[in-house]
C-alpha cells in the first residue's frame, strides 16, 4: 500500500534577496518540514536562481516576469502544472495577483496570504492608487486565511475590510535568533568610526522615514559631533536622499551601503539601531537587530510595534513621528548608553525560528484539512 503523498506547498514571492517579506518566505522555505510537505518556491520576477542558501529539497521555480502583475500567465501555468494543495503568497501586490487568479486555479487549492503592513495606514500614507482599497475589499475575501504579524494589524484589517476575524491568523515572523547570536559571538563589536555609529536598514522609500533620520542627524551632531550613520538598503528614494545629505551638509557623516543581503554583518559595529519609519508592520530588520543585542531607537510606527517595544530595556521609543522627536530620543539613548553596551532583548524570544515555524505548520495543517 502506497504511503499518503505529502501535501504540495507553493510559496510565492517576487524574488529572492529582497526585503523583510522575502526573507520571511525564504526562512519558511528553509525550515518547514520536508518530511511533512513537498516544498516549492515560486519567484515571479526572477529569471534564474543560483547561490541562494536554500536546501536541496526546496524546488525553485523562476518565472522571469518583468514585474509581478505581468506574471499572470506564467504563474497560472505553474499552478496548473504543480497542482499545489496550498499556496502561500508573501507580499501585498503579489497577493492581489494570486487572489485575482484564484478562480482559475485547480479546484481545492487552498490560498493563504501574508499581510506585511497595516492596511488603513498604507492606504493613507503610501501614495497607492485610489483603486487599491477596492482591490483589498474585492480580493482579500477570496483568501482562506490572511496572516498578520500583530494583533493590532489583524484588528485593523477586520475593521477596514469588514473581514471576519475567524479568517485572520496572527503569526510571529521567524527570526534566526540562534544564528544571529552565533555570528555576533564570532564577530565581536568593532568601531568603524570614532563617534557613535547609527545603523538603519530598509527599503529607501518615503514610508521608511530616512528623510526624518537625516534631519534628526543634523540636530544630533550639535551634541555628538562625531556621530555617523550607515543606511543599508536600496530603493526609489536613494538619489533624493543622497542629494538631501549634500544639501544639509552631512554627506561626510552618512554612508549608503546599498542593498545588504545579511544585515547581521553590520550589527557588531553599530552603537544604535534606528527605525525611523512613518509606518511599519513589524520589520524583520528590527527583530534581527534585537536578536544581536543592539540598542534600539524607534518611532511609534504602528500599534503593534509600540506594544512590542514599550518599556523594554535597551529600547528608546519616540513619543511621536517627527524628526524632532527622533533627534531627542536618539540623544537620550546616546547619553544613557555605555560604549559597546548590548541588551538581551527578551521580547525577541517569541520570534525564534522553531516557535514561528511550529505556528506556521499548525496553520498549514489546519488549512489543508479544510478548516478556517
Stretch 122-142: mean pLDDT: 76
The answer, yes or no, to whether residue 193 has pLDDT greater than 70, is no
What are the tens digits of pLDDT across the range 284-343?
899 999 999 999 999 999 888 999 999 999 999 999 999 999 999 999 999 999 988 999
The answer, yes or no, to whether residue 126 has pLDDT greater than 70, is no
Lowest mean pLDDT among 34-48, 248-262, 325-339: 34-48
Cβ–Cβ under 8 Å, residues 309 and 348? no
| Strand 38-43, strand 315-317: pairing | unpaired
The answer, yes or no, to whether residue 216 has pLDDT greater than 60, is yes
Q: Are residues 156 and 15 in the same domain?
A: yes
Long-range contact set of residues 103-110: C-beta below 8 Å, sequence gap at least 24: 103/142, 104/76, 105/76, 105/79, 105/80, 106/79, 106/80, 109/79, 109/83, 109/84, 109/85, 110/85, 110/86, 110/144, 110/367, 110/368, 110/370
Stretch 39-59: mean pLDDT: 80
Give the CB-side neighbour count of residue 2, counting CA atoms within 13 A: 3
Long-range contact set of residues 312-320: C-beta below 8 Å, sequence gap at least 24: 312/345, 312/346, 312/347, 313/343, 313/344, 313/345, 314/341, 314/342, 314/343, 314/344, 314/345, 315/343, 315/345
The answer, yes or no, to whether residue 190 has pLDDT greater than 70, is no
Between residues 193 and 62, the one the model is more confident about: 62
Q: Are residues 346 and 199 in the same domain?
A: yes
Question: Is residue 3 assigned to a domain?
Answer: no
What are the tens digits of pLDDT across the range 56-82?
999 999 988 888 778 899 999 999 999
Q: Are residues 185 and 163 in the same domain?
A: no
Q: Are residues 160 and 208 in the same domain?
A: no
Q: Are residues 58 and 127 in the same domain?
A: yes
Confidence grade of residue 47 (pLDDT, cut at 50, 70, 90): low
Q: Are residues 54 and 155 in the same domain?
A: yes
Confidence grade of residue 3 (pLDDT, cut at 50, 70, 90): low
Looking at residue 1, its pLDDT comes to 43
Question: Is residue 293 assigned to a domain?
Answer: yes
Q: Are residues 60 and 133 in the same domain?
A: yes
Q: Are residues 170 and 182 in the same domain?
A: no
Q: Is residue 299 helix, strand or coil?
A: coil
Rounded CA-CA distance 111/339 in Å is 49
Question: Is residue 2 assigned to a domain?
Answer: no
Q: What residues are paired with 12 via a beta bridge?
A: 42, 89
Q: Which domain holds residue 52?
A: 8-174+352-368
Q: Are residues 343 and 356 in the same domain?
A: no
Looking at residue 189, its pLDDT comes to 64
Question: Is residue 1 assigned to a domain?
Answer: no
The answer, yes or no, to whether residue 225 has pLDDT greater than 80, is yes
The answer, yes or no, to whether residue 117 has pLDDT greater than 80, is no
Question: Is residue 276 assigned to a domain?
Answer: yes
Confidence grade of residue 256 (pLDDT, cut at 50, 70, 90): very high
Q: What is the CATH number of the domain that holds 138?
A: 3.40.50.2000
Looking at residue 281, its pLDDT comes to 81
Looking at residue 128, its pLDDT comes to 65
Looking at residue 252, its pLDDT comes to 94
Looking at residue 33, its pLDDT comes to 96
Q: Are residues 197 and 159 in the same domain?
A: no
Q: How many CB atoms lie within 10 A of CB 34?
A: 13
Q: Are residues 93 and 167 in the same domain?
A: yes
Q: Which residues contact 203 (CB under 8 A, 6 or more apart)?
A: 19, 233, 234, 235
Domain count of the chain?
Answer: 2
Percentage of the chain beyond pLDDT 90 is 64
Looking at residue 191, its pLDDT comes to 52
Q: What residues are paired with 9 via a beta bridge?
A: 39, 86
Stretch 182-199: mean pLDDT: 80
The answer, yes or no, to whether residue 119 has pLDDT greater than 60, is yes
Cell of 295: 540598542
What are the Cα distances from residue 261, in Å, to 28, 35, 109, 266? 17, 29, 33, 11
Stretch 43-50: mean pLDDT: 72
Looking at residue 138, its pLDDT comes to 86
Q: Are residues 284 and 226 in the same domain?
A: yes
Question: Is residue 85 assigned to a domain?
Answer: yes
The answer, yes or no, to whether residue 34 has pLDDT greater than 90, is yes
Amino acid at each position: 500500500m502506497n504511503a499518503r503523498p505529502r501535501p504540495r506547498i507553493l510559496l510565492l514571492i517576487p524574488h529572492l534577496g529582497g526585503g523583510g517579506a522575502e526573507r520571511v518566505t525564504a526562512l519558511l522555505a528553509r525550515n518547514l518540514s520536508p518530511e511533512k510537505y513537498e516544498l516549492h518556491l515560486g519567484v515571479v520576477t526572477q529569471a534564474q536562481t543560483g547561490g541562494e542558501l536554500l536546501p536541496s529539497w526546496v524546488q525553485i521555480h523562476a518565472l522571469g516576469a518583468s514585474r509581478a502583475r505581468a506574471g499572470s500567465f506564467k504563474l497560472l501555468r505553474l499552478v496548473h502544472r504543480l497542482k499545489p494543495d496550498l499556496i502561500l503568497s508573501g507580499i501585498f501586490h503579489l497577493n492581489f495577483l494570486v487572489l485575482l487568479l484564484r478562480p482559475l486555479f485547480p479546484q481545492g487549492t487552498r490560498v493563504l496570504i501574508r499581510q506585511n503592513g497595516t492596511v488603513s495606514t498604507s492606504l493613507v500614507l503610501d501614495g497607492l492608487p485610489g483603486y487599491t482599497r477596492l482591490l483589498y475589499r474585492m480580493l482579500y475575501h477570496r483568501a482562506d486565511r490572511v496572516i498578520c504579524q500583530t494583533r493590532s494589524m489583524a484588528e485593523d484589517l477586520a475593521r477596514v475590510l469588514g473581514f471576519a476575524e475567524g479568517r485572520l491568523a496572527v503569526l510571529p515572523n521567524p527570526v534566526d535568533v540562534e544564528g544571529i547570536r552565533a555570528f555576533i559571538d564570532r564577530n565581536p563589536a568593532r568601531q568603524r568610526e570614532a563617534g557613535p555609529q547609527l545603523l538603519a536598514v530598509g527599503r529607501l522609500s518615503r514610508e521608511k522615514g530616512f528623510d526624518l533620520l537625516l534631519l534628526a542627524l543634523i540636530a544630533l551632531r550639535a551634541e555628538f559631533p562625531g556621530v555617523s550613520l550607515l543606511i543599508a538598503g536600496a530603493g526609489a528614494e536613494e538619489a533624493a536622499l543622497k542629494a538631501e545629505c549634500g544639501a544639509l551638509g552631512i554627506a561626510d557623516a552618512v554612508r549608503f551601503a546599498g542593498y545588504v543581503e545579511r544585515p547581521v554583518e553590520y550589527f557588531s559595529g553599530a552603537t544604535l539601531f534606528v527605525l525611523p519609519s512613518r509606518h511599519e508592520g513589524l520589520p524583520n530588520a528590527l527583530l534581527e537587530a534585537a536578536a544581536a543585542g543592539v540598542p534600539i531607537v524607534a518611532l511609534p510606527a504602528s500599534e503593534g510595534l509600540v506594544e512590542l517595544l514599550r518599556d523594554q530595556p535597551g529600547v528608546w521609543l519616540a513619543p511621536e513621528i517627527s524628526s524632532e522627536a527622533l533627534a531627542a530620543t536618539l540623544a537620550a539613548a546616546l547619553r544613557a548608553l555605555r560604549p559597546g553596551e548590548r541588551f538581551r532583548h527578551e521580547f525577541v524570544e517569541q520570534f525564534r525560528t522553531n516557535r514561528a515555524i511550529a505556528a506556521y505548520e499548525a496553520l498549514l495543517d489546519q488549512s489543508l484539512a479544510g478548516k478556517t
